Copies of this chain bind each other. A is one copy, B any other.
């Protein structure tokens, strides 16, 4: 159903509850979700959301993922305090990926780096391109 927006003009809209029910969750009931810092544009991390995580994120304004390793809802920042405040949830053209524009409190990465993408492939080396934020 999300593909029905493809030919709509800028500003047109469809029902979110109806689109949510038709999103193509994978066989584990999950969609990948990219978190991007809303003002700087920095891509922070990728994690996974199920239907419950999406609904909780929208209702609380704090990002909640599904932890595949723990098989439970993962309220980002629950233990670290490094919450992600949702600015906007976006959906791609075929509905199988989410983009979360967020305001990240502290580092997004468990290594205390601002982003999880701190490894860069440069010729035959993988180079660390950022340092952990100070405590």
How close is A118's CB to chain B, nearest CB, in angstroms? Answer: 7
- CB of A124 within 8 A of CB of B12, answer no
- CB of A126 within 8 A of CB of B88, answer no
How close is A106's CB to chain B, nearest CB, in angstroms? Answer: 15
> What is the interface size of chain A, counting residues whose CB is below 8 A from a CB of the partner?
53
Say yes or no: is A49 at the interface (Cβ < 8 Å to chain B). Answer: no
- CB of B15 within 8 A of CB of A126, answer yes
Contacts of A15 in B (CB 8 A): 124-126
Contacts of A50 in B (CB 8 A): none
- CB of A119 within 8 A of CB of B2, answer yes
Say yes or no: is A105 at the interface (Cβ < 8 Å to chain B). Answer: no
- CB of B111 within 8 A of CB of A6, answer yes
How close is A4's CB to chain B, nearest CB, in angstroms? Answer: 10
Which residues of A approach B to under 8 Å, CB–CB?
Answer: 2, 5-6, 8-17, 19, 32, 34, 36, 40-43, 45-46, 58, 88-94, 97, 99, 109-111, 113, 116-131
- The distance in angstroms between the C-alpha atoms of A93 and B130, with both chains bound, is 12
Write 25 A-B pairs (CB below 8 A) sorted by A numbering: A2-B126, A5-B126, A5-B128, A9-B128, A9-B131, A10-B128, A10-B130, A11-B127, A13-B122, A13-B125, A14-B126, A19-B119, A32-B46, A34-B34, A41-B41, A43-B43, A46-B97, A88-B120, A92-B119, A93-B110, A93-B111, A93-B116, A93-B118, A97-B117, A99-B117
